[in-house]
Structure 1
Amino acid sequence: MSASFIVKEIFIYPIKSLAGITCEKAFAEEMGFENDRRWMLIDADNQMLTQREHRIMSQFYPQISDGKISITFQDHKHEFSIKEHLENSIKVNVWDDKSDVVEVNHATSKWFSEHLGFECKLVKIIKNGARKHESSRLKETFNVSLADGYPYLLIGSKSLDFLNEKLEEKITIKRFRPNIVISSEVPHEEDHFDTFSIGEVNFKNVKPCGRCIMVNNDPQNGKLKKEPLKTLSTYRAVDNSVLFGTNIVSLNSGTISVGDKVVV
């Protein structure tokens, strides 16, 4: 008999390592949710920028409306069209994966440069297949956007509850930057999913997600804490990784919504 769970929350992160957006529904594609991590900041040497080195990036808040993305940072705001980009291709790396991207426009790059305090560009991945990621576990290659490794991250609610029972200062699920949060009954049972469906979309579990120092960055203020990585490492350390949540891929396209059943 199939177990059933419920989708509690959906998030997208249009620009890699900036704040996320809570969604009531999202369109699942092979590369990830529509508009999820299709954009990324790179430095003057075309190297990707993330919160690992620049925690202030968590304080840039995107919103999507009427075909535009607006970014708010403190009292400053900037917007650009989802569809706009320059023509010249730029070669970048997302960890070990090579990708072709294009700059959005000079004005947007200048705005980010001014507020981050160093030269950078906002770039976009514009076609499926421009970046490929190989799963050593599945021996398969996936088309991914600009996410760290896989198109989607799934977390069960009980996994966070179990962690918060051990923490003095409770945290929210936003520390872990999931795409899909589901109701669950047992901590980390999502690790053991194989194939499952949400609404009209079928997903496949690839592997539990190894976490880095970025989960210690408090997204409310951009300050680095000792938790939750310190506590997680006492009970979720496996082969030099600290695991929380699981990486998944979609097997077809379609819309999923908060409240949808997850059939495992």
Structure 2
Amino acid sequence: MHMGLPGLSLSRVAWLCVAGATLALGVAAAWRRRRAHRSLVQVGTVTGLYIYPVKSCQRVSVEDAEVTEMGLRKGDLRDRFWLVIREDGHMVTARQEPQLVLISVACENGHLILNAPEMKELTIPVKLHKENPVKNCRVFGLDVEGRDCGDDAARWITTFLNSKPYRLVHFETQMTPRKCNEIKPPFRNNDKVPYSDCGPILIISEASMEDLNTRMEKKKDMRYFRPSITVSGCSAYEEDTWDKVVIGDVEMKQVMACGRCILTTVDPDTGIIDRKEPLETLKSYRMCDPAQNHIYKSAPLFGSFYGIDKIGIIKKGDPVYKITEC
């Protein structure tokens, strides 16, 4: 005997099944039509993929990476998932402690490994004991959690920086990330980050870097600007104009330019901040349209932030395609 669903006749159940199937087919057909009415135009090639596990510390260059909703990931290394804080929870970056840029980061066998000049290597488990307290942190005016990495990490950071007491915290995936549109309004409601400044992916073309260096007496390199992805094969600042891009099986949406601050004036080799270049040169030719002053204020623009529309894997050498609607 067919029991059916409580309160529903067989004819009603059949009608619901047909209606559901029709709706699913309609959605799929609409998606196919949308895909059919767009084309991909190659605009460049990926030349670099960089993860910055500890905010303001050195980058890790990878050959391939998973693009998640919150940025690049390679195994246990995730972008800006670790943060130095004061004891009251406020973030500490190279703006306040320029020598943070001298700390190198690696990951092996489930452990984060930190090295710095004249310091013994520090090893921290990526998965911390649940007994480690969760701290309330403050990053650019927004609250976000982080699990404390322990007293050994705190002493190591404090000793190297020769500072007042600092601690290291780790963002865990069950914690609530910061919403990008609460940091910068141009971002979408679904864009989110842990401890990153304001967006999950920053793209800079090599041509933009080369153009800047033609205007500088002392040349800089890309490390000053901390991109997630570097691209060759396009013109300078063209990355600002790509509305939507496809790399590998990843789709991204250009949201806003990156307004630059004094962090770009920290020498990545010495940890010395001069507070002048490359900012002064950028300000001479890369200021926003006056109509956007409420977004960028006095910051010059260099590189573009992208939000994630489709996650997936990308690798060095991948073509970068711009999506154009037909």
Residue 23 of structure 1: how far off its partner (Å): 1.1
Q: Is the 8 A contact 1:40 1:146 kept in 2?
A: yes
1:124 aligned residue = 170
Find the counterpart in structure 1 of residue 205 from structure 2: 156
Question: 1:254 matched to which residue of 2?
Answer: 312
Instruction: Tell me the secondary structure at the aligned position of residue 300 of structure 2.
Output: strand
Letter of the aligned partner of 2:148 in structure 1?
A: E
* Structure 2 alignment gaps of length 5 or more: 1-39
Tell me the residue number matched to 2:52: 13
Q: Map 1:1-264 onto structure 2 (within 5 A).
A: 2-34=41-73, 35-76=78-119, 77-86=121-130, 87-117=132-162, 118-127=164-173, 130-135=176-181, 136-225=185-274, 226-238=276-288, 239=293, 240-264=298-322
Extract structure 1 runs of 4+ deviating beyond 6 A.
none
The answer to whether the 8 A contact 1:31-1:151 is kept is: yes
Q: Is the 8 A contact 2:286 2:301 kept in 1?
A: yes
3-state SS, counterpart of residue 313 of structure 2: strand
* Structure with higher RCO (Cα < 8 A, 6+ apart): 1
Partner Cα distance (1:79, 1:151) in 2: 26
Which of these two proteins has the greater Rg computed from alpha carbons? 2
TM-score when normalising by structure 1: 0.95
* Equivalent pair of 1:132/1:141 in contact (CA under 8 Å): no
Tell me the number of residue pairs that the alignment of Structure 1 and Structure 2 aligns.
Answer: 264
Q: Which moved more, 1:5-14 or 1:120-129?
A: 120-129
In the alignment, the residues of structure 1 paired with residue 142 and residue 230 of structure 2 have an alpha-carbon distance, to the nearest angstrom, of: 27
Question: Following TM superposition, by how much is the alpha carbon of 1:207 offset from its aligned partner in structure 2, in angstroms?
Answer: 0.3
Displacement of 1:68 in angstroms is 1.7
Larger strand share, 1 or 2: 1
Change beyond 3 A, Cα 1:156–1:122? same
Bigger CA drift: 169-178 or 250-259? Answer: 250-259
- The residue identity in structure 2 corresponding to 1:39 is W
Q: How big is the alpha-carbon RMSD for the aligned residues of Structure 1 and Structure 2?
A: 1.5
Letter in 1 for 2:93: T
Q: Which amino acid aligns with 2:315?
A: S
- Residue 43 of structure 1 deviates from its aligned partner by 0.8
Task: Please state how far the C-alpha of 1:145 moved relative to its aligned partner.
Answer: 1.6
Counterparts of 1:159 and 1:206 in 2: how far apart (Å)? 18
Counterpart code for 2:287: A
State the percentage of identical aligned residues. 28
**Contact 2:180/2:199 (CA < 8 Å) preserved in 1?**
no
* Counterpart-to-counterpart distance in 2, 1:185 and 1:143: 28
Structure in which a larger fraction of residues adopt helix: 2
The runs of 5 or more residues in structure 1 that have no matched partner are none
Amino acid at match of 1:83: K
